[in-house]
């Protein structure tokens, strides 16, 4: 999109664009660039870059130009889209040493101030330090595989259980607010595990901070969204320019999201120590464990404390929007497929109903015995991926791949949507078909299930917090299926309201608000929901 600037400035911009283009060093090579849409002199593909749902356009271009690699140029900046899992793995995993960095964004880094954000940092020592700290305190496995199914986390499960139990009660008491309830549940788990902060039952101010803090980043990280990223000199434009005003507002939202929860968590940690006479006796969380370590020394490492705050901001902001978005997609899928719900509930009843005939809520230990339910989660990730394009990588060296030149400094955009809608790997790709992830004997096809975790990234930039998000989604979805029916809503005349399938168009793209009816499956599950909320009160966190 063009920045919102007065027309009187456009002539100056055009002149500067021309001068900038002539200053670009052009690498002469006999090796061709990958195919792509036609480019104009100087501005390249600025005129024909898709304005929304770009992942669909990129996939169409791949078919049109018969290539798994698509090349674009944004006024001197090279972009390459990878439309297949094979090519993406070859570049970002097998050649990860030169494709593991991130591009510097004048909008995101210089104007909005996201220099600290783990996900958009370049591959440097600062990034590696933060990654090690995150793995240390969150006890995430270090491996770079996508095999989440075999990763068993236990430390965060009481947090999940507590707030998912509360969720079930909310879904049946006020089902019309189910989307807000799901966001609140995910935010509560994130707040509890990360900061150990008290959480309000509704309209929690900390959870609101995560949403507002992430909104600007969602818009600004879409490649080509702001001309200032192609022409860095524009960051010196007057503050009244539209993109400058947006950057200022988003910067303020970011600082509030970064500073307020951590500051309150640290005060809680300090105050608990004063009251109980024991330093660091606050609720166990990422912050409390880190501060215990830092201040156990006579010379606390204040730089490490700052790193911890930044990691907390990364986890908090990253978990709430993406994980709740996956849950929204799950609910949308269930509304459209009552038959799939019923099949899942038959499997659930066969596993979770005890010898006494009573039904219980699932735990993660039940996962191996619930392959069809797990397949539903995998199909949810594939059907409408919450991250249709991954956070772009940056090539740090000139490269040649399968006869095509990829210039140094190219922004590489993995098209997750295209990979997960490949008809050769996923026949009838637009249909919601959990059975595609099952073997003939009904067991889970673990190889195919691993491959849909693409939204968590690739190679060295794979999301280290992916296990937490996946754990929340699995348990929450299974608890909902165990206790509730998710049906199409009806209007005041009894007519069915067909839920929309419209998605947001952003770096993370969840479904837009839709209506559904949520009710307990039976009197038995209604009682189970009530008891689960009572049990949640006794989970000591």
pLDDT for 144 beyond 60: no
Q: What percent of the chain has pLDDT over 90?
A: 56
At residue 6, the pLDDT reads 55
Element (H, E) at 404: strand 404-406
- Which residues make up each annotated binding site for heme? 463
pLDDT for 395 beyond 60: yes
CA distances from 384 to 146, 239, 388, 431, 452 (A): 19, 38, 8, 10, 11
At residue 484, the pLDDT reads 97
Helix ranges, 40-142 (H): 54-64, 85-88, 125-138
For residue range 83-102, what is the model confidence (pLDDT) as tens digits? Answer: 999 999 999 999 999 999 99
Helix ranges, 277-359 (H): 286-294, 302-336, 338-352
At residue 24, the pLDDT reads 47
Structural contact between residues 509 and 389, judged by C-beta atoms closer than 8 angstroms: no
Look at the block and give the residue holding tokens 């009843």. 349
pTM to 2 decimals? 0.88
At residue 502, the pLDDT reads 74
At residue 111, the pLDDT reads 94
The mean predicted confidence, pLDDT, of the chain is 86
Mean pLDDT value of segment 271-292: 67
Can you tell me the distance from the alpha carbon of 167 to that of 408, in angstroms, rounded to the nearest whole number?
48
**Least confident piece of the model among 269-273, 279-283, 345-349, 527-531:** 279-283
Kindly report the three-state secondary structure assignment for every residue of 453-468. Answer: HHHHCCHHHCCCCHHH
CA distances from 141 to 134, 144, 309, 317, 538 (A): 10, 8, 21, 21, 30
Which of 79-93, 227-241, 494-508 is most confident? 79-93
Give the tokens for residue 411.
């922004």
Sequence length of the chain is 541
- Residue 331, sorted as left (phi over 0), alpha (psi -120 to 50) or beta, turns out to be alpha
Can you tell me the distance from the alpha carbon of 62 to that of 83, in angstroms, rounded to the nearest whole number?
7
3-state percent helix, strand, coil for the chain, nearest multiple of 5: 55, 10, 35
At residue 273, the pLDDT reads 56
At residue 275, the pLDDT reads 47
pLDDT for 296 beyond 80: yes
479 closest CA partner among 537, 535, 420, 398? 535
pLDDT for 140 beyond 70: no
pLDDT for 72 beyond 90: yes
Structural contact between residues 426 and 418, judged by C-beta atoms closer than 8 angstroms: no
- Interior/surface letters 247-257, b for 16+ CB within 10 angstroms, e for the rest: beebeebbeeb
For residue range 346-367, what is the model confidence (pLDDT) as tens digits? Answer: 999 999 999 999 999 999 999 9
**Least confident piece of the model among 14-18, 40-44, 100-104:** 14-18
pLDDT for 147 beyond 50: no
Mean pLDDT value of segment 386-397: 91
Mean pLDDT value of segment 217-244: 86
pLDDT for 297 beyond 90: no
At residue 279, the pLDDT reads 45
Structural contact between residues 74 and 224, judged by C-beta atoms closer than 8 angstroms: yes
Give the tokens for residue 467.
């296990």
Can you tell me the distance from the alpha carbon of 179 to that of 281, in angstroms, rounded to the nearest whole number?
35
510 DSSP 8-state letter: P
Q: Of 297 and 334, which is predicted with more confidence?
A: 334
Give the count of beta carbons closer than 10 Å to the beta carbon of residue 6. 10
- Which residues make up each annotated binding site? 463
Can you tell me the distance from the alpha carbon of 71 to that of 88, in angstroms, rounded to the nearest whole number?
14
Residues in contact with 194: Cβ distance below 8 Å, sequence separation at least 6, in sequence order: 261, 285, 286, 287, 312, 315, 316
Q: Of 271 and 146, which is predicted with more confidence?
A: 271
Residue 256: which pLDDT band, with cuts at 50, 70 and 90? very high
Which of 37-46, 431-440, 498-507 is most confident? 431-440
Side-chain-side CA neighbours of residue 433 (13 Å): 12
Q: Of 118 and 137, which is predicted with more confidence?
A: 118
């Amino acid at each position: 999109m063009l920045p919102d600037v007065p027309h009187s400035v456009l002539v100056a911009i055009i002149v500067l664009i021309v001068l900038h283009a002539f200053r670009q060093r052009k690498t002469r090579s006999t090796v061709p660039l990958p195919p792509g849409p036609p480019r104009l002199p100087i501005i390249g593909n600025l005129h024909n870059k898709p304005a929304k749902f770009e992942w669909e356009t990129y996939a169409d271009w791949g078919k049109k130009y018969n290539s798994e690699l698509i090349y674009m140029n944004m006024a001197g900046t090279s972009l390459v889209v990878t439309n297949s899992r094979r090519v993406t793995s070859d570049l970002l995993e097998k050649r990860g040493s030169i494709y593991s960095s991130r591009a510097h964004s004048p909008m995101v880094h210089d104007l909005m101030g996201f220099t600290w954000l783990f996900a958009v940092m370049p591959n440097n020592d600062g990034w590696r330090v933060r990654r090690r700290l995150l793995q240390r305190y969150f006890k995430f496995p270090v491996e770079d595989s996508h095999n989440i199914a075999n990763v068993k986390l236990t430390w965060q499960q009481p947090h999940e259980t507590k707030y998912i139990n509360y969720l079930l009660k909310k879904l049946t008491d006020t089902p019309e607010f189910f989307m807000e309830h799901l966001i609140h549940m995910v935010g509560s788990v994130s707040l509890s595990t990360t900061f150990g902060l008290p959480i309000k039952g509704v309209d929690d101010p900390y959870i609101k901070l995560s949403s507002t803090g992430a909104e600007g980043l969602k818009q600004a990280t879409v490649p080509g969204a702001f001309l200032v990223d192609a022409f860095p000199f524009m960051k010196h434009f007057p503050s009244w320019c539209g993109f400058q005003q947006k950057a200022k507002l988003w910067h303020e939202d970011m600082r509030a999201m970064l500073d307020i929860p951590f500051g309150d968590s640290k005060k809680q940690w300090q105050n608990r120590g004063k009251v109980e006479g024991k330093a660091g006796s606050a609720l166990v969380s990422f912050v409390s464990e880190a501060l215990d370590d830092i201040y156990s020394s006579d010379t606390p490492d204040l730089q490490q404390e700052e790193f911890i705050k930044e990691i907390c901001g990364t986890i908090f902001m990253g978990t709430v929007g993406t994980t709740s978005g996956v849950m929204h997609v799950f609910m949308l899928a269930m509304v459209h497929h009552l038959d799939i719900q019923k099949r899942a509930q038959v499997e659930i009843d066969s596993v979770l109903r005890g010898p006494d005939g009573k039904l219980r809520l699932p735990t993660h230990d039940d996962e191996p015995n619930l392959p069809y339910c797990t397949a539903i989660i995998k199909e949810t990730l594939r059907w409408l991926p919450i991250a249709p394009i991954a956070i772009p990588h940056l090539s740090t060296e000139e490269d040649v791949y399968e006869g095509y030149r990829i210039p140094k400094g190219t922004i590489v955009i993995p098209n997750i949507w295209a990979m997960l809608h490949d008809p050769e790997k996923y026949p009838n790709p637009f249909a919601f078909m959990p059975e595609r992830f099952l073997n003939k004997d009904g067991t889970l096809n673990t190889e195919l299930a691993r491959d849909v975790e693409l939204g968590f990234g690739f190679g060295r930039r794979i999301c280290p917090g992916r296990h937490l998000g996946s754990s929340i989604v699995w348990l929450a979805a299974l608890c909902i299926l165990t206790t509730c029916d998710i049906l199409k809503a009806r209007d005041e005349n009894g007519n069915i309201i067909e839920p929309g399938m419209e998605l947001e168009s952003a770096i993370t793209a969840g479904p837009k608000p839709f209506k559904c009816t949520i009710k307990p499956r039976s009197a038995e599950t209604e009682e189970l929901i009530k008891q689960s909320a009572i049990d949640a009160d006794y989970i000591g966190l």
